[in-house]
Amino acid sequence: MFGLVENDLVFLSPLGVIARDRLVQIPEHHSTVTVDSYVVMPNHVHALLRLDEQRELELGDVVATYKAAVSRAARHKGLWQRGYHDHIVRDEHDLQRIHDYIATNPIRWALDPENPNRTS
């Protein structure tokens, strides 16, 4: 859907490019949000978003508008699952762990249960 992983590198499909572009554009639409790091995988997206403490938006609003923007640009309804997984970063160690997880996600793709070409 969003692309493929070859030799631990993600190659985005046209839909993946839309997903990436709309993700990096989030701060243009929500000035209190920063996209810290991200990876667009073949079937999902990981993103570390920083919301200003004085924010007017909730994370759910940011995620909903992102999903809607990608769906609209792709002209594709039913693209996303209903929910999303979130985690509040508690400290610098937690932040580094999440950065590492996002950065190394393509390397783990071969073992992902959702990968149709999964190797044991």
Instruction: Please give the residue range of the domain that contains residue 94.
Output: 3-111
Residue 33: burial class (beta carbons within 10 Å; 0-12, 13-18, 19+): buried
The DSSP result for 62-105, as a single string, is HHHHHHHHHHHHHT-TT-S-S--------SHHHHHHHHHHHHHH
For residues 29 and 45, give the distance between their C-alpha atoms in angstroms, rounded to a whole number.
19
**Residue 41 is assigned to a structural domain of this protein:** yes
Amino acid letter, residue 100:
D
Q: Looking at the domain assignment, is residue 81 inside a domain?
A: yes
- Whether residue 120 lies inside any domain: the answer is no
In tens, the pLDDT along 31-88 reads: 899 999 999 999 999 999 999 877 677 899 999 999 999 999 998 888 898 889 999 9
Global pTM reads 0.88
**Number of domains making up the chain:** 1
CATH number at residue 28: 3.30.70.1290
Residue at 58 is within a domain:
yes
Domain assignment present for residue 117? The answer is no
